[in-house]
């Protein structure tokens, strides 16, 4: 099945979502060990990117008629640190038609 624009949007947000998660974790450690507190800002950025990821995931799943397993794998990657980067790689392969996503 040809990848849709929804898959492309999901791919575009997966990398920044993964990076924002790592930055949020870093800010959380810095908050406990130094006087720097970037958690409120990074929390809001990560929250917005996570919501976009979930919305785009739902759109892509409906547009591509993915089975529940694919959708679940991509959702779980969003809640694991560095998972967004793996999701981006999987989606890039699907866009190029090299490999079926999480078959």
DSSP assignment letter at 81:
T
Q: Is 16 exposed, middle or buried (0-12, 13-18, 19+ CB in 10 A)?
A: middle
| Count of beta carbons in the 10 Å neighbourhood of residue 46 | 22
Q: Is the pLDDT of residue 90 over 60?
A: yes
**What pLDDT score was predicted for residue 55?**
96
Q: Is the pLDDT of residue 64 over 60?
A: yes
Q: With contact defined as beta carbons under 8 Å apart, do 21 and 84 qualify?
A: yes
**What pLDDT score was predicted for residue 96?**
81
Q: Is the pLDDT of residue 56 over 80?
A: yes
- How confident is residue 103, by pLDDT bands cut at 50, 70 and 90? very low
pLDDT in tens, 13-40: 999 999 999 999 999 999 999 999 999 9
């Amino acid at each position: 099945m040809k990848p849709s624009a929804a898959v492309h949007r999901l791919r575009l947000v997966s990398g920044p979502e993964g990076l924002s998660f790592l930055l949020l974790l870093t800010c959380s450690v810095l908050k406990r060990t130094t006087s720097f507190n970037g958690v409120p800002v990074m929390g809001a950025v990560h929250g917005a990117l996570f919501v976009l990821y979930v919305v785009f995931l739902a759109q892509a799943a409906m547009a591509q008629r993915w089975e529940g397993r694919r959708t679940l794998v991509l959702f779980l990657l969003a809640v694991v640190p560095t998972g967004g980067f793996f999701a981006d790689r999987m989606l890039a392969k699907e866009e190029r038609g090299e490999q079926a996503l999480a078959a």
